[in-house]
């Protein structure tokens, strides 16, 4: 009768599994760090951003310079863009929960003023909306959206570094990553 002596050494399969798991953990941490880092925006782009002025739906002026030095979410959207409309409640909830922490959210409508006013009368949001039109399209291009697609969102930290740039609909996970 051959009795097997139990070994305290992990099996080869277990060692392989642990090595792969450790590698995945390190890769995941690296990706998380990379996604959370702040990237400096070129001075010319920052200058164009802070110099931009738009009219709000109520006719009052909106200058982007008023948001300088605060964490800022800039969301380019349109009333005819289904993903844009679907993400607006998420943005509004984020703004409500974080405005006391100096977070600002700004919606820039790439749309006809009458359509935006009509839309906001039915679906109001608490954060400011600028009627951006073609000037907003040019700004969006300067900020890196070369395709011109919507929705397009930027998250800029208080030091004017770019924290996130996303073309497409935001998810709750995207928003949780900002804070």
Summarize pLDDT for 79-126 with one digit per residue, the tens: 999 999 999 999 999 999 999 999 999 999 999 999 999 999 999 999
Q: Quote the pLDDT of residue 45.
A: 87
Q: Quote the pLDDT of residue 34.
A: 42
Residue 15 or 54, more confident: 54
Compute φ and ψ for 107, nearest 5 degrees. -100, 130
**Is pLDDT of 75 > 90?**
yes
**Is pLDDT of 12 > 60?**
yes
**Is pLDDT of 127 > 60?**
yes
**Is pLDDT of 59 > 70?**
yes
Cα→Cα distances 120→56, 84, 97, Å: 11, 13, 20
The answer to whether 136 and 109 are in contact (CB under 8 A) is yes
Q: Is 135 helix (H, G, I), strand (E, B) or coil?
A: helix
For 36-179, strand residue ranges (E) read 39-40, 53-55, 61-63, 72-77, 104-109, 129-131, 152-156, 161-167
Q: Quote the pLDDT of residue 18.
A: 55
Mean pLDDT estimate for the chain: 86
Lowest mean pLDDT among 30-39, 60-69, 103-112, 138-147: 30-39
Residue 151 pLDDT class (50, 70, 90 cuts)? very high
d(CA 152, CA 91): 13
Sign of dihedral through CA atoms 178, 160, 83, 98? positive
**Is pLDDT of 13 > 80?**
no
Determine whether 119 is exposed, middle or buried from the number of CB atoms within 10 Å of its CB (0-12, 13-18, 19+): buried
The answer to whether 97 and 176 are in contact (CB under 8 A) is no
Compute φ and ψ for 54, nearest 5 degrees. -135, 165
């Amino acid at each position: 009768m051959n009795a097997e002596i139990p070994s305290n050494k992990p099996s080869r399969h277990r060692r392989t599994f642990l090595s792969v798991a450790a590698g995945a953990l390190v890769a995941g941490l690296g990706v998380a760090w990379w996604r959370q880092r702040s990237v400096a925006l070129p001075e010319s782009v920052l200058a164009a951003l802070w110099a931009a002025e738009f009219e709000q739906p109520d006719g009052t002026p909106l200058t982007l310079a008023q948001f300088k030095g605060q964490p800022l979410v800039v969301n380019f959207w349109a009333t005819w863009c289904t993903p844009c409309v679907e993400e607006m409640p998420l943005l509004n909830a984020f703004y409500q929960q974080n405005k006391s922490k100096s977070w600002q959210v700004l919606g820039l409508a790439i749309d006809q003023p009458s359509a935006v006013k009509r839309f906001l009368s039915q679906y109001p949001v608490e954060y400011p909306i600028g009627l951006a039109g073609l000037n907003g399209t040019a700004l969006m291009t300067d900020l890196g959206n070369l395709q011109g697609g919507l929705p397009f969102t930027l998250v800029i930290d208080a030091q004017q570094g770019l924290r996130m740039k996303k073309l497409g609909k935001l998810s709750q996970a995207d928003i949780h990553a900002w804070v």
